[in-house]
Amino acid sequence: MASEFKKKMFWRAVVAEFLAMSLFIFISIGSALGFNFPVVGNKTSTRSQDNVKVSLAFGLSIATMAQSVGHISGAHLNPAVTLGLLLSCQISILKAIMYIIAQCLGAVVATAILSGVTSSLPNNLLGLNSLSEGINAGQGLGIEIIATFQLVLCVLATTDRRRNDVSGSAPLAIGLSVALGHLLAIDYTGCGINPARSFGSALIANNFENHWIFWVGPIIGGASAALIYDFILAPRSSDLTDRVKVWTSGQVEEYDLEGDDMNSRVEMKPK
């Protein structure tokens, strides 16, 4: 871990996560708050929230940031995604911790800036995630688990370098998965699926009611997706020693896809 800590690329990746997370939060939550400022002159805006607009803003901003910094940090931009990639042995424990810290700091900074931009709004909760009327904690938790599960599963499958059948844009596919999760969950929980995003709003708005749901749900969903993908859907031929080596040093060895087709190989090298 000490050797990884000293590398410039390691710190570039952490800074990239912070910067991309800040932009993502500002754009996406800013889009959600924008309906409070209708443009009267052209009469194209109304005072009703548009779930499709918000979902696309979240999805397209993720896709844009993934295209922008994916080659530097991998563009996790979500502690649940970072956890999934950690369990999938694609990053070290140290990098995972630093990424999550950077993501949370980025979310807090962006939400604080948005608080200043939207200071004229009364009772401004800054995109705070909360349970809708009629939804209890267990139901909200289930929604968060399922929405995060499909996102992390998409990330793992789309970025799996053992595959040679993937066509199109991986960032766009992941962005559409984020949008899909929002289309599902906005009406139930406001759609967390990203603990850092939920934490930024909760901290700046000073409201942590049911906040645990937006950590526990994505963590369970992300971990479940990683374990199911790595051990059931597309098992890797790595043993415990290989996995511990990745977690401690960040060095990623060559993994083989279990099965009859021994030509399906990938060499995953550390950045």
pLDDT in tens, 71-127: 999 999 999 999 999 998 889 999 999 999 999 999 999 999 999 999 888 888 999
Which two structure tokens, joined as six digits, stand for 242? 């290989």
Encode pLDDT of 131-145 as tens digits: 999 999 999 999 999
- 115: helix, coil or strand? helix
Confidence of residue 171 (pLDDT cuts 50, 70, 90): very high
Least confident stretch, 35-39, 126-130, 215-219: 35-39
Contact 211, 139 (CB under 8 A): no
Which two structure tokens, joined as six digits, stand for 141? 């938790």
Contact 271, 76 (CB under 8 A): no
Q: How far apart are CA 92 and CA 251, in angstroms?
A: 8
Which two structure tokens, joined as six digits, stand for 135? 């939804």
Task: Report the candidate in 31, 81, 52 with the shortest Cα–Cα distance to residue 182.
Answer: 52
pTM for this entry: 0.86
Q: How far apart are CA 48 and CA 27, in angstroms?
A: 19
Place of tokens 């289309």: 183
Sequence-ordered list of residues with C-beta below 8 angstroms from that of 180, at least 6 positions apart, any chain: 55, 59, 150
Using the predicted structure, report yes or no on whether residue 254 has a pLDDT greater than 60. Answer: no
Q: How far apart are CA 223 and CA 252, in angstroms?
A: 20
Using the predicted structure, report yes or no on whether residue 220 has a pLDDT greater than 90. Answer: yes
Q: What percent of the chain has pLDDT over 90?
A: 66
Give the 3-state secondary structure of 165-182: CCCCCHHHHHHHHHHHHH
- Identify the CATH assignment for 4-35+50-118+126-245 out of 3.40.50.300, 2.60.40.1080, 3.40.50.1100, 1.20.1080.10: 1.20.1080.10
Confidence of residue 266 (pLDDT cuts 50, 70, 90): very low
**Which pLDDT belongs to residue 261?**
44
Q: Report the mean per-residue pLDDT for the chain.
A: 86
Q: What is the mean pLDDT of residues 242-252?
A: 69
- Which residues are paired to 137 by β-bridges? none
Phi-psi region of 236 (alpha: psi -120 to 50; beta: other; left: phi over 0): beta
Least confident stretch, 27-36, 213-222, 244-253: 244-253
Q: How far apart are CA 187 and CA 130, in angstroms?
A: 10
Contact 212, 143 (CB under 8 A): no
